[in-house]
Amino acid sequence: MTAPHRPDGLPDAIQHWIAGDTVPSADGRTFDVLDPVSNQPYAQAARGGADDVARAVAAAKSAFAVWSQYGNRRRAQVLNKIADVIEARHDRLAEFESFDSGLPISQARGQARRAAENFRFFADVIVGLGEEAFRQGAEQISYVVRTPVGVAGLITPWNTPFMLESWKLAPALVAGCTLVLKPAEWTPLSASLWPEILAEAGLPAGAANIVHGIGEEAGQALVDHPDVPLISFTGSTDTGRHIIRSSAQELKATSMELGGKSPAIVFADADLEAALDSVVFGVFSLNGERCTAGSRVLVERPVYEEFTICLAARAANVRVGLPSDPATEVGALVHPEHYERVMSYVEIGKKEAQLVVGGTRPDHLAEGNYLQPTVFAKVERDARIFQEEIFGPVVAVAPFDTEEEAIELANATQFGLAAYIWTSNLKRGHRITHAVESGMVWINSHNIRDLRTPFGGVKASGVGREGGAHSIDFYSDCKIVHVALGDVRTPRFGAAQ
């Protein structure tokens, strides 16, 4: 067995962070944290419950009186300091993230950089964000005041955990909210670095709190707490539906970034080499564990066979190896339970379609959650591997004959997060963009994000949008104030005798 690289400074215990202190669970419970190469426990994490969430919410509620009164520029200064501290810990963060999640170290380094950029970006947003005013002639003016909602509940996933935590922490804090973060139980390691980062940056104690634990316990307690008026969640569609149902009783605001089964549509007139590069990177980077992966590749029939052969050849050459190896392109899947789930879909796919390449553990990796990138061809639209999110390095390839058929196949799932269109005919590209049921579309481009743009999906892929000012809007209440400028001439009901 090939042993995982163990970063220096690994903790034996991962504790909650409440009111500026690291603390165990109120009842003393813990759970094992595994690394995905050996699948052996390397730490014990505090297993939070309702009492721990209640303590964290109380701390956040108390700190709200202080943090919400910081001006926008002062909050922005703290966020820029947080970014500085993240960057100073860049190598350690990347090593922790790679070790804990199985993400290749080269890609983990990119996630650490993006986390810092998230804080700098939202610091800039809040300083530059104005508020609206409306004048009604010479008689009245109305203006909008944006105020922080209160205590935000943040529930984050196990794929690229530190970066996605930053994507929620930054806008919540800069909007003036305080918060309780519940990291994913499979990947709590990099979240254990937030306390020292946020404290060093000068964030007031209690403004951010972290409760580790199982989703059904700690996550549910956070969703149910009456003093948490809004929940931001990234994760599976089934869990998102459950959170929305649970939040309905208290009429909580929710932002849900959920599952995806995104199509990549390749026309015969496309730059096929560029499309191939994008498809391979889009579905196999981050171990295929990404919500926007183009995991359904729809190829126009005249080039279908050629493109599928080239895709299979590239997949066979993708380097699968230890996450700590800089040459690795696909590392270990995050957890044995998830690995079993992905492998079950491989077995389903063998019965539904043609396995072209992959589908097995690489010969040189006898242990760990490894899967050779897998390509299925001749996939029918009702196949489970075409319809259901697998969340691993597995791609389904299907042909189409007409533009109309391409649109129909693209829309033939419950999901609608992202879509990718490859064609030299930009008129057609725009037509399909407007016809595809998706929250985000890239034309002749792979997944390049502009943080100013809204991020989110339609159908079963989510509710709401975050990104840029959209994130600030979610964590804020807007109050409209109307002021008379001249004499008030209200109809005088009851004045006549």
User: Active site residue: 185, 217, 257, 352, which one?
Assistant: 257
Q: Name the nearest CA neighbour of 40 among 32, 48, 52.
A: 32
374 pairs with which residues across the strands?
394
Query: Reduced to 3 states, what is the DSSP secondary structure of residue 207?
Result: coil
Instruction: Report DSSP letters for 147-177, one per residue.
Output: EE-SEEEEE--SSSHHHHHHHHHHHHHHTT-
Query: What is the C-alpha separation between 213 and 27, in angstroms, rounded?
Result: 12
Beta-sheet pairing, 440-443 with 418-422: parallel
Query: What is the C-alpha separation between 133 and 143, in angstroms, rounded?
Result: 4
The H or E element spanning position 281 is helix 272-284
Give the CA distances from residue 345 to residues 158, 355, 386, 399, in Å, rounded to whole numbers and listed in that order: 20, 12, 10, 21
Find the distance separating the first CA and the last CA of the chain, reported in whole Å.
Answer: 98
User: Active site residue: 165, 185, 291, 329, which one?
Assistant: 291
CB atoms inside a 10 Å sphere around CB 445:
12
8 Å CB contact between 31 and 215: no
Query: What is the C-alpha separation between 319 and 321, in angstroms, rounded?
Result: 6
Cα four-point dihedral sign 88, 89, 90, 92: positive
Q: Exposed, middle or buried by CB within 10 Å (0-12, 13-18, 19+), for 259?
A: buried
- Our answer to whether residue 291 is catalytic in this structure is yes
8 Å CB contact between 242 and 394: no
- Our answer to whether residue 478 is catalytic in this structure is no
- Torsion angle in degrees (nearest 10) through CA of 161, 162, 168, 171: -160
Q: List strand residue ranges (DSSP E) for 249-336, in order.
A: 253-257, 263-266, 296-300
8 Å CB contact between 327 and 429: no
Query: What is the C-alpha separation between 292 and 213, in angstroms, rounded?
Result: 26
Query: What is the C-alpha separation between 229 and 213, in angstroms, rounded?
Result: 21
Q: Which residues are known catalytic residues?
A: 257, 291
